[in-house]
Amino acid sequence: MKQFLLLAALAASTCAFAQEVKEDFVPNELNQPGQEYPMVNSQGYARFKIKAPEAKAVNVGLGLGGTHGGTDLKKTADGFWEGTTSAPLDEGFHYYHVTIDGGTFNDPGACNYYGSVRWESGIEIPAHDKDFYALKDVPHGNVQQILFNSPSTKSIRRAFVYTPASYDGKTKLPVLYLQHGWGEDETAWSNQGHANLIMDNLIAEGKIKPFIIVMTYGMTNDLKFGAGFGGFNFKAFETVLVDELVPYVDKHFATIADRQHRAMAGLSMGGMETRNITLARPEVFGWWGLLSGGQYGPNDFEKMDKNLIPFGIFMSCGSKEQPDAINKAAADLKAAKYNAQGYVSEGTAHEFLTWRRSLYQLAQMFFK
Amino acid sequence: MKQFLLLAALAASTCAFAQEVKEDFVPNELNQPGQEYPMVNSQGYARFKIKAPEAKAVNVGLGLGGTHGGTDLKKTADGFWEGTTSAPLDEGFHYYHVTIDGGTFNDPGACNYYGSVRWESGIEIPAHDKDFYALKDVPHGNVQQILFNSPSTKSIRRAFVYTPASYDGKTKLPVLYLQHGWGEDETAWSNQGHANLIMDNLIAEGKIKPFIIVMTYGMTNDLKFGAGFGGFNFKAFETVLVDELVPYVDKHFATIADRQHRAMAGLSMGGMETRNITLARPEVFGWWGLLSGGQYGPNDFEKMDKNLIPFGIFMSCGSKEQPDAINKAAADLKAAKYNAQGYVSEGTAHEFLTWRRSLYQLAQMFFK
C-alpha cells in the first residue's frame, strides 16, 4: 500500500511538472566499459535499453524500495526493450534493478554496487555541485584493503582505510570510522560515496587538515538476511569495531590514538550504530556524526561524565527526508551550549548525494 | 564451428565418464551474502536455480567463450529454473553468465568478476590444493588502490598495490608488475587470483622474502571493444606502465628501484604484453614471466646486450593448454644456460587456477 501511495504521488508530480524530454541523452558515467546504455539526459531523465528478444515483460525499478518508481520498457524491433523514466530523477546516485519475466536481474550495461543486500545496478544523475567529489589532477590518497582478525566473530574481516596523499607512516593523524547503511557493505563509501575523492579535494584546497577514514562491514554476523533491523545486534558490531578494529588500526597506521582525534559517523543504519556505540563508548570517540540516521538531544548528555561529552556533533539528512527534525535537534543542542551542526542537503532524499555532501560538511567540522 | 567441436568433445567425455551425481551440494563460496544458489557438490558439478517465472528459456554458459559448455535450466513448479551441469567442472574459478529469453544477464545469486569485457558471474570449484590461497590467520598485507596521473592518455588511472604485512615504508622491497588477461582489469589478480593471499601465505611460511605487487589496467585506451587483439597497441600500454606507473610507484613506495629488483609478468594477453614490453625495455625489468601467454626462446636473447639478459624467466600454462610448448621452451633456454623455469598446472585450462598456481611458483623463483 505504501508502494502504491508513493507511485501515485510520483504520477501526480509528473503531471504537474510535465515537460518535453530533451533528446540529449549520453551514456551514463557508471556504465560498464564500452556500454551505450543506460543513458541520462540533461534534465535527469534516464533511458534504458536491454536485450531480451524472447521476454514477455521487462521493468526497471529505481531507488531503495522503488522510491523512484518503476519504468516499463517496451519491446523494439531489434529484440531490445527500451524505456525512459516518466520523470527526471534526483541528482546523484541511484540503485536499480531489472525485472525480467518475474525475476530480478541487473542491467548488463551498468556497473554494480552493493545495496539492499545484493549487488545492484547503479546510475548517476550528474549533480550541479559534482565538482567536490570529482576525480581531479590533485595529489591522491590511497584506499587500502586491510584484513583484521576478529576473535569475537571467529573470522578474518575486511576494512578499507583511506590514507591521505601526505600519509608517510610517521606523521600521526586523526581517524574517522565511517559506516555504510543497511544492506550495503564496506565498499559503499568508496564506490557510491567517493569518500576518497571528497577528502583528496578538500585537502588539496586547504579546507581541511588530512585525516584517515576507516570503513568496515557493519552488519555483523548475527543479522538474519531479510529480517531488517529487528535481528540486528549493535553489541556484536560494537565489539568488532571498538575492541578489534580500532586497536588494529592504531597498531598498523600512524594514528593519534585518543578520543579527541577519533570520530565515528554513519549513514542510515550506520547512523543508528554510531548513536548507539558513541553513547555506550564515549571514551573511544570524541566526534559523533549521524547522516540520515537520527539525532542526539540534550537529554543524551545530561547524565554523562562531563569529560566524555563529544567535542563536536554533526547531524544531517536530505531535504526530502525529515529536515525539521535535524534542524530542531541542532538548535536544541546549540541552545544547551554543545558544539553541534545540522546540515540539510537540498533536493535530495535517502540517497548517496545526501551523504557525499554530508561528508563534505562533516570533514570541515571534525578534529578542529 | 570451433564452438560446436568443443561442445561435441565435452559430450563425448561426459559419456565416457558418466557417473552418479552425489546429492551433497552446498552454496558456492562466491555467492552473494545469504544466497543459496548456485551450489556445487564434492564431484565438481554445479547446480543453478534462478527465479524467472514468466521466462521461456534460461541457459547457463560456463567458461571463457563457453569452453565448459551450456546448461539448459528447466522450469520448476515454484517459478524457478533449475539445472545441473552435465559433467563436473575443472577445479578452480570459472566465469559464467545466464541467457534469459535471448538476453545476457548475471546470476543474481553469484558475485561478479570482471572478465570478457563485462562483469560476469563467478563460481568456484574447491581445488584439492586450495590451501595455498586460503584466507588464514597469518599476518596480512594490504591491497591499496592508487590513482596516478597519465599524461600520455590524458587520464588519471587506477592501480592496485599489494604491500606485504611487514611493509613499513622504510625497508625497500622488490616489485612485481603483474598483468591480467584480455577483457579483465586491474581487479582480477586480487578478486579472481587471490594474489594477496598467495603472497601472505608464502611469506608466513618463510618460502619467500616479501615483495610488492603492482596491478594496473592493461587494455590501454586504444582498444576497440569487441575488436580482440587486433586493435590493441602494446606501445600505448608500455608508455603508461614504464614511463608513468613505475616512476609513480618508485616515488610513493619503498622500492628497490633497479631492474634486478623489478619484475614483469602477466597472464594470457598480459603475457603477450609482458613479452613485448620486457624485450623492448629490458633495462627496466630483470625478471620476466609469461602465464599462459607464450614463450621466450634463445633467439630472443642472441642479439641482446649481455648486461640486459633477464635474471630469470618463468613460463607456464595449464595441462589442458599447450604444455609441450612450455616444456620445450624451458628446456631450450636451460640448454642455452639461461635461468628459466617451465611450469604446467595439472588438470587445468586457460583459467585462474592455472594462474594462481603459476604465481605461487613464480614468487618462489623471482628476486633470488
pLDDT number for residue A210: 98
- Smallest Cβ distance to B52: which of A34, A100, A225? A100
- Is residue A115 pLDDT above 50, yes or no? yes
- Is residue A12 pLDDT above 90, yes or no? no
- Is residue B4 pLDDT above 80, yes or no? no
**Cell digits for B229?**
587483439
pLDDT band at B232 (very low <50, low <70, confident <90, very high): low
pLDDT band at A16 (very low <50, low <70, confident <90, very high): very low
Contact B147 A140 (CB under 8 A): yes
CB A98 within 8 A of CB A175: no
- Smallest Cβ distance to B142: which of A50, A135, A146? A146
Q: Closest Cα partner for B39 from B102, B125, B97, B106?
A: B125
pLDDT number for residue B273: 95
- Give strand pairing partners of B114: B119
Q: Count of alpha carbons within 13 Å of A364, Cβ hemisphere only? A: 15
pLDDT band at B63 (very low <50, low <70, confident <90, very high): confident
Tens digit of each residue's pLDDT (9 = 90 or more) over A156-190: 999 999 999 999 999 999 999 999 999 999 999 99
Q: What percent of chain B has pLDDT over 70?
A: 90
- Closest Cα in chain A, distance from residue B46 (Å): 20
Contact A140 B156 (CB under 8 A): yes
What residues of chain B, 206 to 245, have a C-beta less than 8 Å from chain A? 225-226
pLDDT number for residue A274: 97
Tens digit of each residue's pLDDT (9 = 90 or more) over A241-279: 999 999 999 999 999 999 999 999 999 999 999 999 999
pLDDT band at B3 (very low <50, low <70, confident <90, very high): very low
Interval A12-37 mean pLDDT: 82
- Is residue A2 pLDDT above 50, yes or no? no
Contact A226 B34 (CB under 8 A): yes
CB crowding A139-155: b at 16 or more within 10 Å, else e: ebbbbbbbbbebeebee
What residues of chain B, 266 to 285, have a C-beta less than 8 Å from chain A? none
**Hey, is the C-beta of A134 within 8 angstroms of any chain B C-beta?**
no
- Is residue A3 pLDDT above 50, yes or no? no
pLDDT band at A18 (very low <50, low <70, confident <90, very high): low
Please tell me the least confidently modeled range out of B125-129, B224-228, B232-236.
Answer: B224-228
pLDDT number for residue A17: 54
- Is residue B106 pLDDT above 70, yes or no? yes
**Hey, is the C-beta of B147 within 8 angstroms of any chain A C-beta?**
yes
Q: What is the DSSP letter of B11?
A: H
Contact B103 A108 (CB under 8 A): yes
Q: Which residues of A touch B56 (CB under 8 A)?
A: 54-56, 101
Residues A154, B131: Cα–Cα separation, whole Å: 19
- Is residue A232 pLDDT above 90, yes or no? no
Q: Which residues of A touch B196 (CB under 8 A)?
A: 145
- Is residue A229 pLDDT above 80, yes or no? no
| Closest chain B CA to residue A163 | B144
Tens digit of each residue's pLDDT (9 = 90 or more) over B137-155: 999 999 999 999 999 989 9
pLDDT number for residue B120: 96
ipTM: 0.91
Residues A330, A340: Cα–Cα separation, whole Å: 6
**Hey, is the C-beta of B104 within 8 angstroms of any chain A C-beta?**
yes
Please tell me the least confidently modeled range out of A114-128, A211-225, B42-56.
Answer: A211-225
pLDDT band at A346 (very low <50, low <70, confident <90, very high): very high
Interface test with B, best of A35, A105, A182, A200 (most B CBs within 10 A): A105
Residues A224, A230: Cα–Cα separation, whole Å: 9
**Cell digits for A194?**
567517493
pLDDT number for residue A231: 54
Length of chain B: 368
pLDDT number for residue A98: 97
Residues B217, B313: Cα–Cα separation, whole Å: 23
- Is residue B59 pLDDT above 60, yes or no? yes
- Quote the mean pLDDT of chain A: 92
Interval B17-23 mean pLDDT: 82
Please tell me the least confidently modeled range out of A159-168, B62-71, B197-206.
Answer: B62-71
Contact B51 A102 (CB under 8 A): yes
pLDDT number for residue A64: 61
Tens digit of each residue's pLDDT (9 = 90 or more) over A64-105: 655 667 899 999 999 999 999 999 999 999 999 999 999 999
SS3 sequence, chain A?
CHHHHHHHHHHHHHHHCCCCCCCCCEECCCECCCCCCCEECCCCCEEEEEECCCCCCEEEEECHHHCCCEEECEECCCCEEEEECCCCCCCEEEEEEEEECCEEECCCCECEEEECCEEEEEEEECCCCHHHHCCCCCCCCEEEEEEEEEHHHCEEEEEEEEECCCCCCCCCECEEEEECCCCCCCCHHHHCCCHHHHHHHHHHCCCCCCCEEEEECCCCCCCCCCCHHHHCCHHHHHHHHHHHHHHHHHHHCCECCCHHHEEEEEECHHHHHHHHHHHHCCCCCCEEEEECCCCCCCHHHHCCCHHHCCCEEEEEEECCCCHHHHHHHHHHHHHCCCCEEEEEECCCCCCHHHHHHHHHHHHHHCCC
pLDDT number for residue B65: 57
